[in-house]
Amino acid sequence: MIRVFLIAASPLAHAALQNRFKGQGVKLVGSAAAVDVLSGDLSDTRADVLLVDAEGESPEALIELLTESGLAADIPIVVLVEAASPSAPAQALQGGIRAVLPREISTDQLAAALQAAAVGLVVLHSAEIPAAFPSGAPASQPLAELPEPLTRREREVLQMLAAGLANKEIAARLNISDHTAKFHVASILGKLGAASRTEAVALGIRRGLVLL
């Protein structure tokens, strides 16, 4: 379960996002109308991620405000924007913000992005990559192939783990028993060499097995 603190100026946007969280393994643990009205330490809320809806605001100005606030040093931040300048993704990354994503992103993608940010990963929407890396995407060392690849069903289960679903929820969605769901999770951890569900998701994202 990913615990999210939400900043949204619009009550409608707040309600819409809260509704999207249902059934996604995401729990809203607090909210505020703006960054500058936050009071107290966010650690009191036990939030894993700070989600900021930039509806009606300048994404660039909001990113600058978040950077100056120092919040990124305390909690992973994901920002939803309607439209941003080409420099916004790079500006956000330099400020420690984990993701700048379009507001129309799908619910599954949003849940996966929150999960990724919570485990310490940076998330880039495919449309933002050219702007974030104007000279081309950085080269990376290829990952060694898995000794035993994940099955189609295991990939489905891994995607649900990325969305924060528990074994019972996975079993219900796939119409399988809790025992079978637990077996699939154990198999995924073994094949990926992961010690936990969170690590399995992180490794799955690195290998392109989890869709964001």
- According to the model, what pLDDT value does residue 191 have? 92
Give me 1's structure tokens.
């379960």
- According to the model, what pLDDT value does residue 64 have? 86
Structure-model confidence comparison of residues 151 and 67, the more confident one: 151
- According to the model, what pLDDT value does residue 129 have? 57
What is the rounded radius of gyration, in angstroms, for the C-alpha atoms of the chain? 18
- According to the model, what pLDDT value does residue 139 have? 47
Helix 197-206 crosses helix 152-162 at what angle (to 10 degrees)? 110
- According to the model, what pLDDT value does residue 130 have? 56
Mean pLDDT confidence for 129-136:
53
The overall average pLDDT reported for the chain is: 82
Look at residue 41 and give its three-state secondary structure.
coil
**In which band, very low, low, confident or very high, does the pLDDT at 156 lie, cut at 50, 70 and 90?**
very high
Q: For residue 212, which of 94, 146, 128, 154 has the smallest C-alpha distance?
A: 128
* CA 162 to mean position of chain CA atoms: 9
Reply yes or no on whether the pLDDT at 39 is more than 80.
no
Q: Look-up: residue for tokens 């500058």? A: 36
What distance in Å separates the CA atoms of residue 1 and residue 161, rounded to the nearest whole number?
10
Contacting residues for 189 by C-beta, under 8 A, at least 6 apart:
195, 196, 197, 199, 200
**In which band, very low, low, confident or very high, does the pLDDT at 13 lie, cut at 50, 70 and 90?**
confident
What distance in Å separates the CA atoms of residue 9 and residue 65, rounded to the nearest whole number?
15
- Per the CB < 8 A criterion, the answer to whether 29 and 45 are in contact is yes
- According to the model, what pLDDT value does residue 210 have? 81
pLDDT, one tens digit per residue, over 63-118 is 888 888 888 888 899 999 887 666 677 777 777 888 888 888 888 888 888 988 88
pLDDT, one tens digit per residue, over 1-12 is 889 999 988 888
Reply yes or no on whether the pLDDT at 41 is more than 50.
yes
- According to the model, what pLDDT value does residue 174 have? 93
Q: Within a 10 A sphere around the Cβ of 15, how many other Cβ atoms?
A: 11
Reply yes or no on whether the pLDDT at 198 is more than 70.
yes
Q: Look-up: residue for tokens 């310490």? A: 120
